[in-house]
Structure formats: structure tokens, C-alpha cells
């Protein structure tokens, strides 16, 4: 939003020398008054968008400054930074919580009765699943694409980004005042009704358990530590192993707001803000007139967003009221793109004027949690892992076949048992086999088992995560068997994600080095590009168009060429870079 | 002679002005455009002023009689409700018929709605806000379909129709036509299709014609329509849950019956002659029960489809509301959330017969320019209290009773209205979440304690001076008694301690 005044078009009416300029200026000033539309005069709102129902859960602001909000009218809305509707998706159900944004741009929404739905970045349904009961909180996507969610009975489910159930485990019933959170390094924190805060890894294995002094609220996980509070009036800080570093007590329920390196921010009661040092000393407290619905780190201080306004607190506790307005109950979201958005019970999505948040000398410097890489699961000492590793790297085809059967059974026999955390790694090793670790006896390749590689690749579509395509692309560049190559491409398609276009690039290279008489690889390529297009809502790479043109112009069966042209036409319909 | 002519002229001028005034009144009344169901209410002084609770209490009393099994409830000779519910299988919509008799004194649509809301709360268990919302729709519905016997014959049951007088059906938009001339229909539905579980038919009272009337208002009736949509959605969810639960039970029963059927068939094959008859009989019973289960499942499918239709209708209304709000946002300037230092609250006061009254304005603190003025709110006295993001004041809204008011300082609109009449000379003291003021009751004045929602929590037994100073001191309150003595009351219970 420009804060400059709007100037009159004087230059367009001054060229004549016949009329005195002073007179012209006088006339002009009467005809064209000089309004200056500063941000303050326009008010605090950038735009408002009415939906057909209450906004459910905090809106999401994407990297492109798109605002995503879910309404009780059963729609998921995507609005531009200027407040225009980009698209909306009919969820088909009343949502229980707000949408969650995955690291690959997918959205996840859950219904009141427990239907989890995944949508691509254009709002088209990718898959849906049953979490076996009403949800206790929204879905939580993790950095490798796994989506974790808990229902009111305490059943925790984890789904891959492409819709495969990873595992499902019973935890204790959720606490009344808290929802699970997932830390940057992939630890799932589960507040329980018994007063325990449990930590699980991304494979559903409990790491530690901490008994709080009461009903634990939603924790604030940060790297290396966890900040938590309870409705009984205590706050605590734990290290990464769940050992308590300190705890504090007050007479009112404690809600965790934000944890920064230099300070921890809590809310006690309805509106008392407290700042605590990393060592557990209370630094200051202040009563918020705005109410406290949400908070975000701002510079070295804290932005507090409430039902009655927005306030800024410096690190020393000095308060500045930015807006005093009755927003009413609702949810807040804020991003470094200078968007602050409220989704309210008044059925509106409201975006505040970013000029309100620009202070002299300040830069727009939000602290937003960064997506990190999950710490590698510690299973190197596992006997089972070492055995599987030796088989995957070895030359015993039958042993590999048995492992693959076992992994397949894990999926096919009713609700999956806990999948070993090293399953994806073992499958990758079997899939790469002789390609990356050839074992020769003279000229004879001892460990070339293409059928096992194909089987492993098939299973990788279920067991893979957002990091798997990177490994598969390396494999694609080296694989010599066209059927295995086709399977790699098929698996890449089933994994779906290709936000940066590397998969399309790899597919194009594979096409170009495949003999023209081979139809298997081109067919798999077109199938994969269709799947990727569906998953991402678009194809982001020129290489994808190039691959389609390669097939379309080639001497391939008519149906295949029609499929290629269909993808091209679809790409042309969609806005954005291919 | 000249004197006579002069007197005649004077007389004729006076007479003509009187006639003209009457015609103006009639013309004025008749010229009011009430096409948008804008109710014409009495706004003048009242001989009898009832508190909000007393007005609601009329409806509650009518409801209590219904609870005790009376088919017809009556409040003195002023209000009557006929619970026109025929046999369960009677076609057509059943209804409560809400009658304003000739002696009914209600003359403001807000108060009429309060009476209806009190009745609905008592009989159907709605919370008051929901009941008031339904009452709003009921009154507009009855105004829209005033005298429309064709509609009534096409929809309502014979039991309802035989209790109606066509010339009185519905409600006029003019208050002076209400007494003895009003028979409002409150259409009923059955929650869960079960007898004895009637609820107000929100589908009927939010008929398209009724919604269109709301849309003709300046604000498109958006808030009321939102409330009704939420209520309808809750009802649908409740029904869908009931259907889902019943379906689950039926499926479990069906499973059990099929297993039993299999078992009986096996038994029949191996049973002796003497036992076969019994087995056959059991098998027939099981078959019958299975057929009943199947039939009920099919009924549930129909009910499910009905709920889906309701969901579609609700979604359409949500879309319309969103569109109407979008139009309003483009018509109006965007909401201006001013920085706090841009405006300040001021109370413009005037004197009337030795007492002070006023109204709120927002002014530019630099220039004194009035930016906004409160509408319809009269402040009694010259003081108000600001706490949190609210203003607390003694006042009246639209000429109603004097009571505690809670206002939004940004919109200058009433957020909450007190439940009791407060003496106009009373002081007002805020202390934490308590508010103390002097209330009138049966000709005497007492100290009362209200909560933040302006609901009466407690009242003193001791009579106090209406204009007494009120001082909170620790856990006690000091006030002036009628004899001029200072009373020490417990701050929570208001019991006298000295």
C-alpha cells in the first residue's frame, strides 16, 4: 500500500502559454483538489473479504503472500495479498479447524467427524482419509511431508504427503487445553489428559515423557528445548531430552505464546503478558488491553494480537498500541511479507494495513519458524536394521524378496503396524542395488536384480517422503534397464512433489537417452507428469513442456501422443510458469 | 360585527389547524412506507414502565402454563397462546398461535419479541439470545404473511386452521392495530421426528419471502440472517448425528439378526420334529424384524436426503449473505480502525428540569470536530466509566427504561443492556467485575450488584437513598440509608453488617 500522496495532473493542463499559469493553477486547484491518501487517513484495514461462515482456525499466509482461510460455509478460500479471490475449494464438509500448509504447498483440512483431506496448491483434492473419530486439533505437516493428527480418543495417525498411512498408534486422551505440536526437528509433542507431555519421533516411537503439574496446554517447541504451560498455573522449560530446566508458578492458567532465544513469552489468565528469561527469571509483566489471542516475534519484542486490538511490546516490556478495535473472537496470522490477517466470527477475513506496523528505524523483521531437516533417527545400533542393511547391500536375491514381501504385508494386512523408521532407506538401497554398488565376478554382474528393484520402487511410492525424489533422481541418471527406469519415473509421479521442477528435468533427460523404439519409458513419463500436475496444481518447469513435446513429436503410439498433447494443453490453461 | 367576524376568523384558524394536525397525523401514519416490514412503534412517554425482565416474564408465564400441560396459556386478558398440535399423523405444520387480546399493552416490536422470546425459552429450551432471534423472524414472518389464508391453508394443519380468525392472522406493522387484532403463527417442527420434541420450524420462519424482507433493510439484515443460518446448521448437524447413530444401531442389530437367522437355519436342519415348530416361529420373527430394520434404513435414507436438501438451502443463504456483505463493503468506505489518539469520547450534556441528560460523540481531540454521534442513546447524568474497551453508563435506549448500559466506544452502540430499572438519581460504581447501582422495586430503592454482563446478581434487603453516594471499601460497601445513616453492606452479598 503506497503511502505517497496522489498528485494532481497539473502538467497535463499547464502547457498553454495563453492563460496565466497562476490562473490555471487556481482553476486546477478548484477542479482537481489535492487529496493525499496516507495509510493513516485510509484507516487500518487493507481489505476485508466476507465469506459465507465463521472463519475456522488461523488463516495461513503462504510464501507468495496468498492468504488461505477455511470457513464454516464449507469452502477453503485462497485470496491474493490484495484481497481478491484467487480460487475457493468446496471441502464438502464443515471443517473442524483451520487449514495446515505442507512444505510442498499442499493444504490439509479435517472435518468435524474426522475426515482428513489433502488439497494441492490449487485447492483440488489429492486424497482423503479417516482418522477414526472427531479430531482433537488440526493436522500438522512435518518437514518430510508426513502429516500427523490426533483424534479425541487419542489415536495418532501419520500419513505420507501422498496419502499413505504411515502408522497409527494409541496415545492417551488429549488434554483439555492443549493440542499436539511438531518441532522443527520432527519431534511430536503430545499433551495428555493425565498431565503428561509426551514426545514421539516421526515414526511414532516415544522418546520421553514429562509429568506436568496439571493439564498441559499446547507446547511451543523450539530447537533444543520445549516451552510449556498448564491450566493449573505453571510454566516450564524442558531440554531436548525432556529434562526440566526450570518451572514457574502463578495463580492463573498459563498459555505459551512465543519462545525466542532471549526471552520466553507467556500469557496468564486472560490478558496478563509475562516475559521470562531463558534462565527462568520473570523479567516483566503487563496487562494487555487488546486481549491475547495470538503472538508473533517482532524484532526483539513481541506483537500481541487480540480480540480488541494489536499491541507491540519491546524486549523491555514497553507497550505501543497499534490498533484499538473490537475485532471480536477470531484467529490471527502474520508473515514477514508484512501481512497481518484476522479471520473472525463475523465471517470476514480482514487484512490489516502493513503501514501500521512500520515504525521509524524498524525493519519488518518477523521471526518465523524455519523448516528444518529432521534429525536422523537413531537406529544404527538396531540389530534388525543391520541385518536388513546387509541384505539390501548384498547379493542374496531371495533374502531381498522376503524383506520386500514383509514390507508389503505391513501395508496390506489391516491397519499398518509400526513401520520401521529405516524402511525407506532399506527400500532405496534395494532399488539402487547394482546401479550404485555393482559387484562383478569377471564381467558378470552378481547383484543385478531388476525385479527386486522394481518391487522396491513400487513400495517406495508408499514409504517415501518429500526427500525421496532427490535420491530417486540420482538413481534415474544411472539406471540402464528401461523397465526399472520406467518404474523410477512412475514412483516419482506417485510421490507427486516437484515444486522446483527437478523431477521434470530428470524425466526429460531420461527420455532423451532412451531409444526411440522404447515405449515403456515415454509412457511412464507422461503418466508421471500427469500425476505431478495433479499433485502440484501446475507444472513449474519448462522441462515438463519439453518432455511432452518430445513425446508428442516422436514416433509413438497415438494414444501416448494424445496424452502428451493433453498435458500441454492443460499446462497452457493454468496460469503461472507452465 | 367586526368583533364577531374577527372571532369567527380566529376560531376558524384554530379549528382548521386542529383538523390539519389530525389529518397530518393520519396522513403521516399512513404515508409511512412499511414495505420493508418496518414496524411502527410507540415512542412517547409511558404511564407504566416495565423492566426488561418483567416483559420477558410475561412470555415465561405463558410458557410455564404450557409446561404444565395446558393447551391454552393465558396472561390476564392480554396475551394467549394456543398450542395447536393435532394427532401425530395429521398432515400440515402444527403451530403455536400467539394472540394479542384487546387489553394487550405492548406497543414496541422489541418488547413483543421479548415476550415471545421468553415463551420460546421456557417451552422449547432455547437460550434467550437464540429465542430472541427466532422471535425476530417470527414477527417478520407474520407481518409478511399477514392475512394470507391461502398460504396457511396450503401449509398448516387443520388443527391450526380451525383456531384462526382470518382477519386477525399474522401481525400488522402498526402497533396501534395489534390489540385484539393479532394471531401470530409460530410454526413447529419435530426434532428427530419424535412426538413431544417439538421445536420451532426454522425452515418455515426463514422462508424466502421473509429473508427478502430482511434484505430490504439498510444493513440487509445480515446479522439476523447469520444467526438464523447458524441455528439451522446446528439443527441439521444434530439431525445428521441422530441419523448416523440410529443407522449404526440398525446395522449392528441387522448383523446380530443375520447371525441369528443363520443359526436358526442350521438348528432347523438338525432339530427334532418337536422343536421344529418353535424354531420356525423364531425364524419368522427374525425375518420380520429384519424387514422392519430394512424399512427403517430406507426411511433413514429419506431423512438423510431431506437433511442434505436443508444443507443446500443453508449454503445458498450463506452465499447470499456473503454477496450482500461484499456489496456493502464496496458501497461503504472500509472500516476505519483509527489509532487511539485520533479520536476521543465526549459527552454532550443538556439540562432538563434540573436533571442532566446527554449523548455520546467521538471528537477530534485537536480540533474538537465531532466525528460520530451515538444514535438513540440517552445518558442520564454527566458521568460515565471506561473500563477495558467498553463504556459503562446509566441511560436509556430509544426511550426505554433507565438502566445500566454497556457501549462499544468505537461504534457508540449498546453492547449490553441492564436487566433491571435503575433509579435515575443513582450513582454507578465499577469495581473489578462488579457494578453497583441503586434499583427501584415496588416503590422502594435498594443497592444492587450487577456483573459485567449487566445482569443483576444480588440486591440489598436494606432500603437506600436513591441518590446515595456509593463507596467500596475493601470487602464492604458504604451507602446512605433512608434515615440518612450510613449503612455498611457486604460487597458480595449486600447484607447489612452494621
Q: What is the DSSP string of A485-532?
A: HHHHHHHHHHH---TTSHHHHHHHHHHHHS-TT--HHHHHHHHHHHHH
> Which of A31-45, A364-378, B414-428, B461-475 is the most confident on average?
B461-475
Give the pLDDT score at A367: 37
* Burial status of residue B352 (CB atoms within 10 A of its CB: 0-12, 13-18, 19 or more): exposed
User: Cell numbers at residue B339, please?
Assistant: 489509532
CB B132, CB B117: distance < 8 Å:
yes
Residue A197 pairs in a beta bridge with A191, A210
Residue A25's pLDDT band, with cuts at 50, 70 and 90, is: very low
State the residue for C-alpha cell 489535492: A34
Q: How many CA atoms lie within 13 A of B497 on its CB side?
A: 12
Cβ A43–B334 below 8 Å, yes or no? yes
What is the radius of gyration, based on Cα positions, of chain B?
31
Closest CA–CA distance from residue A346 to any residue of chain B (Å): 9
**What SS3 class is residue B239?**
helix
Lowest mean pLDDT among B132-146, B320-334, B383-397, B441-455: B320-334
User: What's B341-490's CATH class?
Assistant: mainly beta
Where are the strands (E) in B14-78, listed by range? 72-75
Distance CA B96, CA B188 (A): 7
Task: Give the span between the Cα atoms of A522 and A131, in whole angstroms.
Answer: 38
Please tell me if residue B318 touches chain A, with a CB cutoff of 8 Å.
yes
Give the E-state strand segments of B91-153 in sequence order: 95-100
CA atoms in the 13 A half-sphere facing the CB of A276: 28
Is B315–A52 a contact, with Cβ atoms under 8 angstroms apart? yes
Q: Which residue has the higher pLDDT, B11 or B179?
A: B179
* Residue A95 CB contacts under 8 Å (≥ 6 apart), including other chains: A56, A57, A70, A71, A72, A74, A76, A109, A110, A111, A112
Strand partners, B386: B391
Subunit contact B335:A347, Cβ cutoff 8 A: no
Output A536 or B9, whichever has higher pLDDT.
A536
pLDDT of residue B271: 82
Confidence of residue B330 (pLDDT cuts 50, 70, 90): low
> What pLDDT is attached to residue B255?
94
Residue ranges of domains in chain B: 52-217, 236-330, 341-490
Place A575 in a pLDDT band, splitting at 50, 70 and 90.
low
Query: Are A433 and A447 spatial neighbours (Cβ–Cβ below 8 Å)?
Result: yes
Query: Which chain A positions have a beta carbon within 8 Å of B322's beta carbon?
Result: 50-52, 73, 347
CA distance A324 to chain B (A): 6
CA distances to A435, A436, A514 from A474, in Å:
10, 9, 16
Answer yes or no: is pLDDT of A577 > 50: no
Closest partner residue to A326 (CB to CB) among B233, B325, B389 is B389
Nearest to B337 among A44, A52, A347 (CB): A44
The Cα–Cα gap between A331 and A58 comes to 5
Lowest mean per-residue pLDDT among A148-157, A511-520, B397-406: B397-406
Mean pLDDT within A68-95: 94
Q: Say what the alpha-carbon torsion angle A283, A289, A295, A298 is, to the nearest 10 degrees.
A: -70
Phi, psi torsion values for B161, nearest 5 degrees = -65, -35
* Residue B128, SS3 per DSSP: helix
pLDDT band of residue A324 (cuts 50, 70, 90) is: confident
Confidence check: pLDDT of A151 > 90 = yes
Q: What is the mean pLDDT of residues A524-540?
A: 90
Phi and psi for B480 in degrees, rounded to 5?
-100, 125
B254: contact with A, CB 8 A cutoff: no
CB < 8 Å to A49, chain B? 326
Give the mutation candidate from B318, B386, B388, B410 for the A interface (greatest A CB count, under 10 A): B318
Reported as a single tens digit per residue, the pLDDT across A269-291 is 878 999 999 999 999 999 888 88
- Specify the DSSP element, H or E, that contains A460: helix A450-463
If you average pLDDT over every residue of chain A, what do you get? 83
More confident residue, B212 or B86: B212
Q: Please, are residues A353 and A344 in contact by the beta-carbon 8 Å criterion?
A: no
C-beta atoms surrounding A401 within 10 Å:
16
Establish if B338 touches chain A: CB-CB under 8 angstroms.
yes
For residue A107, pLDDT over 90 is answered with: yes
Band (pLDDT 50/70/90 cuts) for residue B479 is very high
The yes-or-no verdict on residue B35 having pLDDT over 80 is no
Average pLDDT over residues A564-570: 92
Query: How many residues appear in chain B?
Result: 498
Contact between B318 and A324 using a beta-carbon 8 Å cutoff: no
User: Quick check: B281 pLDDT over 80?
Assistant: yes
Cα–Cα distance for residue pair A450/A381, rounded to 1 Å = 30
Interchain CB distance below 8 Å, A53 and B325: no
DSSP B394: E
* Residue in this structure with the C-alpha cell 482553476, named with its chain if needed: A27
Nearest by CB to residue B318, choosing from A73, A112, A309, is: A73
**A422 Cβ neighbours under 8 A, 6+ residues apart:** A377, A379, A382, A385, A388, A389
User: What's the grid cell of residue B64?
Assistant: 410455564
> Distance (Å) from the C-alpha of residue B258 to the closest C-alpha of chain A?
25
Intervals of CATH 1.25.10 along chain A? 383-573
In this structure, what DSSP letter does residue A8 have?
Answer: P
Say if residue A293's pLDDT is above 70: yes
Answer whether residue B316 shows pLDDT above 60.
yes
Q: How far is B192 from chain A (nearest CA, A)?
A: 20
On chain B, the residues whose CB falls within 8 A of the CB of A40 are 339, 342
The pLDDT, as a whole number, for residue B11 is 56
B325 CB neighbours in chain A (<8 A) are 50, 347-348
Report pLDDT digits (tens) over B339-362. Answer: 445 678 899 998 888 888 899 998
Position A340 scores a pLDDT of 83
Question: DSSP string covering A92-161, please?
Answer: SS-BSS--EE-TTS-EEEEBTTSEEEEE-TTS-EEEEEE-SS-BSS--EE-TTS-EEEEBTT-EEEEE-T
Cβ distance A73 to B408 less than 8 Å, yes or no, reads no
Crossing angle of the two packed helices B128-144 and B222-270, in degrees rounded to 10: 100
Chain B CB contacts of A289 below 8 Å = 388-389
Question: Nearest 10 degrees: CA dihedral of A401, A402, A404, A409?
Answer: 140
Q: What is the mean pLDDT of chain B?
A: 85
For residue A93, CA distances in Å to A185, B233, B311, B417 come to 33, 12, 10, 37
Pairwise CA distance, residues B230 & B213, whole Å: 19
Contact between residue B201 and residue B93 where contact means Cβ atoms under 8 Å apart: yes
Cβ contacts of A50 on chain B, cutoff 8 Å: 321-322, 325-326, 329
CA B60, CA A412: separation in Å to the nearest integer?
Answer: 62
CA distance A356 to chain B (A): 9
pLDDT above 90 (res A532):
yes
Specify the 3-state DSSP secondary structure of B471. Answer: strand
Element (H, E) at B24: helix B2-31
Q: Please report the pLDDT score of residue B367 as a whole number.
A: 86
The pLDDT assigned to B21 comes to 34
To which residue does cell 526411440 refer? A516
Alpha-carbon distance of B327 to A316, in angstroms, equals 45
pLDDT confidence of A378, banded at 50, 70, 90?
low
Q: What are phi and psi of A467, to 5 degrees?
A: -90, -15
pLDDT at position A102 is: 92
Position A488 confidence tier, pLDDT thresholds 50, 70, 90: very high
Residue B41 has pLDDT above 90, yes or no: no
Are the beta carbons of B334 and A73 separated by less than 8 Å?
A: no
Q: How many CB atoms lie within 10 A of CB A510?
A: 24
Chain A residue with minimum CA distance to B327: A50
Residue B14 has pLDDT above 60, yes or no: no
Please give, rounded to a whole number of angstroms, the shortest distance from the CA of B310 to a CA of chain A: 13
Does B413 contact A at CB distance below 8 Å?
Answer: no
> What number is the average pLDDT over the span A14-32?
41
Q: Report the 10 Å Cβ neighbour count for A466.
A: 22
Contact B206, B137 (CB under 8 A): yes
d(CA A48, CA A296): 22
- Residue in this structure with the C-alpha cell 509475562, named with its chain if needed: A274
Write out chain A residues lying below 8 Å of B339, CB-based: 40, 44, 321-324
Could you tell me if B407 and B358 are in contact, meaning their C-beta atoms sit under 8 angstroms apart?
Answer: no
CB contact under 8 A, A45 and B336: yes
Cell of A184: 522443527
pLDDT of residue A375: 42
Q: Ramachandran region of residue A302, left (φ > 0), alpha (ψ -120 to 50) or beta? A: beta
- Taking the C-alpha atoms of residue B22 and residue B9, their distance in angstroms, rounded to an integer, is 20
Q: Rounded to whole angstroms, how far apart are CA atoms A202 and A188?
A: 7
- Closest by CA to A257, choosing from A189, A186, A306, is A306
pLDDT above 90 covers a percentage of chain B that reads 51
pLDDT digits (tens, 9 = 90+) for B147-174: 999 999 999 999 999 999 999 999 999 9
pLDDT by residue (tens digit) across B192-209? 555 566 789 999 999 999
Distance (Å) from the alpha carbon of B412 to chain A's nearest alpha carbon: 12
Of B319, B336, B388, the CB nearest to A52: B319
Confidence of residue B28 (pLDDT cuts 50, 70, 90): very low
Give the gap in angstroms from C-alpha B484 to the nearest C-alpha of chain A.
Answer: 40
Average pLDDT over residues B98-117: 91
CB pairs under 8 A between A and B: 74
Which residues from chain A sit within 8 angstroms of residue B411, using beta carbons? 326
A43/B335 CB distance under 8 A: yes
Query: In Å, how far are A489, A543, B75, B119, B162 from B82, measured between CA atoms?
Result: 75, 77, 12, 12, 11
A308 contacts in chain B (CB < 8 Å): 388-389
Residue A19 DSSP code: S
- Rounded CA separation B344/B352 (Å): 26
pLDDT at B77: 86
Q: Is A194 exposed, middle or buried (0-12, 13-18, 19+ CB in 10 A)?
A: middle
pLDDT tens digit sequence for A394-426? 889 999 999 999 888 876 655 555 667 788 899
Q: With an 8 Å Cβ cutoff, are B315 and A74 in contact? A: yes
Range B289-311 average pLDDT: 94
Interface residue B472 vs chain A (CB under 8 A): no
Mean pLDDT of the region B446-465: 88
Separation between Cα atoms, residue B248 and residue A73, nearest integer Å: 27
Question: How many angstroms separate the CA atoms of B137 and B166, rounded?
Answer: 21
Taking residues B12-33, report their average pLDDT. 39
Is the CB of residue B219 less than 8 Å away from at least one CB of chain A?
Answer: no
Q: A446-450, B287-291, B392-396, B424-428: which has the minimum mean pLDDT? A: A446-450
Binary contact (A42, B334; C-beta < 8 A):
yes
Average pLDDT, integer, range A313-333: 86
Does residue B326 sit at the A interface (CB-CB below 8 Å)? yes
Please tell me the least confidently modeled range out of A380-384, B42-46, B407-411: B42-46
| Residue B125, C-beta contacts closer than 8 angstroms, at least 6 positions apart | none
Contact A53 B411 (CB under 8 A): no
**CATH topology classification for A383-573:** 1.25.10
B24 — pLDDT class (breaks 50, 70, 90): very low
3-state secondary structure of A463: helix
The number of residues in chain A equals 578
User: What is the pLDDT confidence band of residue A3, given thresholds at 50, 70 and 90?
Assistant: very low
User: How much is the average pLDDT of B239-244?
Assistant: 88
Distance, CA of B112 to CA of B135 (rounded, Å): 8
State which residue of chain A sits closest to B343, comparing Cα positions.
A324
Give all strands (DSSP E) within B191-280, no chain letters: 198-200
Contacts of B389 in chain A (CB under 8 A): 289, 308-309, 324, 326
Amino acid at each position: 500500500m503506497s503511502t505517497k500522496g496522489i498528485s494532481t495532473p497539473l502538467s497535463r493542463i499547464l502547457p498553454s502559454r495563453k492563460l496565466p499559469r497562476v490562473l490555471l493553477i487556481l482553476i486546477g486547484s478548484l477542479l482537481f483538489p489535492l487529496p493525499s491518501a496516507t495509510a493513516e487517513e485510509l484507516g487500518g484495514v487493507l481489505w476485508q473479504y466476507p465469506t459465507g461462515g465463521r472463519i475456522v482456525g488461523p488463516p495461513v499466509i503462504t510464501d507468495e503472500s496468498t492468504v488461505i482461510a477455511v470457513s464454516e460455509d464449507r469452502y477453503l478460500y485462497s485470496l491474493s495479498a490484495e484481497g481478491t479471490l484467487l480460487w475457493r475449494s468446496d471441502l464438502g464438509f464443515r471443517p473442524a479447524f483451520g487449514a495446515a500448509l505442507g512444505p510442498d504447498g499442499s493444504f490439509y483440512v479435517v472435518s468435524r467427524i474426522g475426515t482428513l483431506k489433502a488439497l494441492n496448491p490449487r485447492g483440488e483434492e489429492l486424497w482423503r482419509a479417516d482418522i477414526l473419530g472427531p479430531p482433537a486439533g488440526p493436522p500438522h505437516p512435518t518437514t518430510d511431508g508426513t502429516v500427523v493428527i490426533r483424534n479425541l480418543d487419542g489415536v495418532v495417525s501419520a500419513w505420507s504427503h501422498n496419502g499413505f498411512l504411515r502408522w497409527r498408534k494409541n496415545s492417551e486422551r488429549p488434554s483439555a487445553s492443549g493440542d499436539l505440536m511438531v518441532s522443527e526437528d520432527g519431534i511430536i509433542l503430545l499433551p495428555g489428559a493425565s498431565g503428561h507431555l509426551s514426545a514421539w519421533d516421526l515414526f511414532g516411537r516415544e522418546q520421553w515423557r514429562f509429568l506436568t503439574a496439571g493439564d498441559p496446554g499446547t507446547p511451543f517447541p523450539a530447537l533444543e528445548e520445549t516451552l510449556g504451560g498448564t491450566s493449573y498455573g505453571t510454566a516450564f522449560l524442558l531440554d531436548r531430552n525432556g529434562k526440566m530446566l526450570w518451572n514457574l508458578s502463578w495463580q492463573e492458567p498459563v498459555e505459551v505464546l512465543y519462545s525466542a532465544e532471549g526471552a520466553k513469552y507467556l500469557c496468564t489468565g486472560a490478558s496478563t503478558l509475562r516475559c521470562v528469561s531463558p534462565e527462568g527469571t520473570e523479567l516483566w509483566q503487563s496487562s494487555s488491553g487488546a486481549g491475547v489471542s495470538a503472538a508473533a516475534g517482532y524484532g526483539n519484542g513481541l506483537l500481541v494480537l487480540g480480540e480488541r486490538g494489536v499491541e507491540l511490546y519491546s524486549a523491555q516490556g514497553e507497550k505501543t498500541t497499534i490498533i484499538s478495535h473490537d475485532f471480536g473472537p477470531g484467529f490471527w496470522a502474520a508473515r514477514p511479507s508484512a501481512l497481518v490477517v484476522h479471520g473472525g466470527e463475523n465471517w470476514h477475513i480482514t487484512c490489516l494495513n502493513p503501514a501500521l506496523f512500520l515504525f521509524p528505524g524498524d525493519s519488518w523483521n518477523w521471526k518465523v519458524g524455519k523448516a528444518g531437516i529432521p534429525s536422523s533417527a537413531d537406529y544404527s545400533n538396531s540389530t534388525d536394521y543391520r541385518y536388513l542393511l546387509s541384505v539390501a547391500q548384498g547379493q542374496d536375491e531371495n533374502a531381498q524378496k522376503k524383506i520386500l514381501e514383509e514390507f508389503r504385508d505391513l501395508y496390506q494386512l489391516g491397519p499398518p503396524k509400526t513401520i520401521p523408521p529405516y524402511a525407506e532407506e532399506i527400500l532405496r538401497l534395494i532399488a539402487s542395488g547394482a546401479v550404485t554398488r555393482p559387484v562383478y565376478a569377471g564381467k558378470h554382474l552378481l547383484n543385478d536384480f531388476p525385479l527386486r528393484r522394481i518391487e522396491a520402487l513400487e513400495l517406495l511410492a508408499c514409504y517415501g517422503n518429500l526427500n525421496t525424489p532427490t535420491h530417486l533422481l540420482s538413481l534415474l541418471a544411472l539406471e540402464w534397464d528401461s523397465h526399472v527406469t520406467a518404474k523410477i519415473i512412475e514412483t516419482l509421479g506417485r510421490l507427486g512433489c516437484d515444486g522446483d521442477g527437478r523431477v521434470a528435468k530428470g524425466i526429460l533427460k531420461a527420455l532423451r537417452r532412451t531409444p526411440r523404439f522404447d515405449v515403456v519409458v515415454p509412457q511412464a513419463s507422461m503418466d508421471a507428469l500427469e500425476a505431478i500436475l495433479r499433485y502440484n496444481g501446475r507444472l513449474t518447469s519448462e522441462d515438463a513442456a519439453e518432455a511432452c513435446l518430445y513425446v508428442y513429436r516422436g514416433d509413438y503410439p497415438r494414444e501416448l501422443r494424445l496424452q502428451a498433447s493433453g498435458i500441454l494443453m492443460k499446462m497452457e490453461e493454468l496460469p503461472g510458469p507452465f | 360585527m367586526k368583533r364577531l367576524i374577527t372571532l369567527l376568523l380566529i376560531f376558524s384558524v384554530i379549528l382548521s389547524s386542529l383538523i390539519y394536525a389530525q389529518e397530518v397525523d393520519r396522513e403521516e401514519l399512513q404515508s409511512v412506507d412499511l414495505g420493508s416490514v418496518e414496524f411502527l412503534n410507540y415512542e412517547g412517554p409511558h404511564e407504566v414502565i416495565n423492566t426488561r425482565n418483567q416483559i420477558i416474564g410475561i412470555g415465561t408465564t405463558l410458557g410455564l402454563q404450557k409446561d404444565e400441560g395446558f393447551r391454552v396459556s393465558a396472561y390476564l386478558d392480554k396475551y394467549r397462546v394456543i398450542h395447536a398440535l393435532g394427532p401425530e399423523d395429521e398432515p400440515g405444520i402444527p403451530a403455536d398461535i400467539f394472540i394479542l387480546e384487546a387489553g394487550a399493552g405492548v406497543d414496541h416490536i422489541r418488547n413483543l419479541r421479548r415476550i415471545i422470546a421468553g415463551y420460546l425459552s421456557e417451552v422449547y429450551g432455547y437460550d434467550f439470545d437464540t429465542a430472541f432471534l427466532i422471535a425476530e423472524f417470527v414477527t417478520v414472518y407474520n407481518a409478511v404473511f399477514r392475512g394470507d389464508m391461502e398460504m396457511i391453508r396450503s401449509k398448516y394443519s387443520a388443527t391450526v386452521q380451525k383456531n384462526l380468525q382470518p382477519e386477525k392472522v399474522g401481525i400488522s406493522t402498526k402497533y396501534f392495530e395489534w390489540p385484539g387484532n393479532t394471531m401470530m403463527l409460530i410454526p413447529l417442527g419435530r426434532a428427530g421426528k419424535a412426538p413431544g420434541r417439538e421445536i420451532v420450524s426454522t425452515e418455515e420462519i426463514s422462508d424466502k419471502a421473509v429473508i427478502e424482507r430482511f434484505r430490504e433493510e439498510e444493513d440487509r439484515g445480515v446479522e439476523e440472517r447469520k444467526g438464523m443460518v447458524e441455528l439451522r446448521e446446528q439443527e441439521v448437524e444434530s439431525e445428521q448425528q441422530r441419523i448416523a447413530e440410529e443407522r449404526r444401531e440398525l446395522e449392528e442389530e441387522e448383523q446380530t439378526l443375520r447371525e441369528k437367522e443363520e443359526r436358526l437355519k442350521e438348528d432347523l436342519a438338525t432339530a427334532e420334529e418337536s422343536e421344529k415348530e418353535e424354531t420356525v416361529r423364531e425364524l419368522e420373527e427374525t425375518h420380520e424384524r429384519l424387514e422392519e430394520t430394512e424399512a427403517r434404513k430406507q426411511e433413514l435414507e429419506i431423512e438423510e436426503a431431506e437433511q442434505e436438501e436443508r444443507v443446500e438451502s443453508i449454503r445458498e443463504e450463506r452465499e447470499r449473505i456473503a454477496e450482500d456483505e461484499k456489496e456493502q463493503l464496496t458501497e461503504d468506505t472500509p472500516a476505519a480502525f483509527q489509532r487511539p489518539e485520533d479520536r476521543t469520547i465526549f459527552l454532550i450534556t443538556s439540562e432538563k428540569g434540573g436533571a442532566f441528560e446527554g449523548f455520546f460523540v467521538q471528537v477530534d481531540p485537536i480540533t474538537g470536530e465531532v466525528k460520530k454521534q451515538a444514535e438513540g442513546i440517552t445518558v442520564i447524568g454527566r458521568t460515565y466509566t471506561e473500563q477495558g474497551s467498553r463504556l459503562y453508563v446509566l441511560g436509556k435506549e430509544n426511550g426505554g427504561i433507565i438502566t445500566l448500559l454497556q457501549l462499544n466506544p468505537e461504534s457508540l452502540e449498546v453492547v449490553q443492556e441492564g436487566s433491571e430499572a435503575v433509579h435515575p438519581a443513582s450513582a454507578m460504581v465499577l469495581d473489578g467485575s462488579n457494578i453497583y447501582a441503586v434499583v427501584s422495586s415496588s416503590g422502594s430503592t435498594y443497592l444492587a450488584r450487577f456483573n459485567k454482563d449487566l445482569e443483576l446478581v444480588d440486591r440489598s434487603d436494606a432500603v437506600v437513598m436513591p441518590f446515595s453516594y456509593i463507596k467500596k471499601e475493601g470487602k464492604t460497601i458504604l451507602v446512605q440509608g433512608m434515615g440518612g445513616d450510613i449503612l455498611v453492606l457486604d460487597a458480595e452479598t449486600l447484607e447489612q453488617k452494621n
